[in-house]
Amino acid sequence: MRVLFVCMGNICRSPLAEEVCRTLAARSGLAGAIKVDSAGTHGYHVGEAPDARAQRVAARRGYDLSRLRARQVVPEDFERFDRIFAMDRANLAALRRICPPARHDRLSLLLDCVPALAGTEVPDPYYGNEAGFEHVLELCEAAVRALLANCPAEPEAPFPGR
């Protein structure tokens, strides 16, 4: 399975989800079965590292975001990824505007993976403090655990992402 996590600028929520997914997949023996990446719907931070607060919060829980760099969603992403998870409705709407209609079935909110949280948004912590980033990390962990519980164990074909 190939999964893309998307937020607005790709420096807070989506890189957290990407690294949580990568790390938990490896810990679960699913590293070969799932390939992950993240992107933003806007190009505000292309080439930048994740927000320092996201990196600190992640590091405290054993996730390393230091090698990630922000990028913007490109048209090829809608073909390259099996699932594309938006962090909130605004970014989901932005994805739907640029996604070919035949690929809309690949788009959903990240928290739709957790039945009790379906339809819930991952809040943007950018204008807050580290507590907001902690909350986002907890939500990402819950969603990724649910996603991985339904991931096929077979390795995928080579992945052109990071």
Q: Which sequence positions are flagged as catalytic?
A: 7, 13, 124
Q: How many CA atoms lie within 13 A of 39 on its CB side?
A: 24
Question: Which of 28, 52, 60 lies closest to 146, judged by CA?
Answer: 28
104: which 2 tokens? 């809309």
CA distance 149 to 57: 24
162: which 2 tokens? 């990071």
Pairing of strands 107-109, 83-86: parallel
Is 162 in contact with 37 (CB distance < 8 Å)? Answer: yes
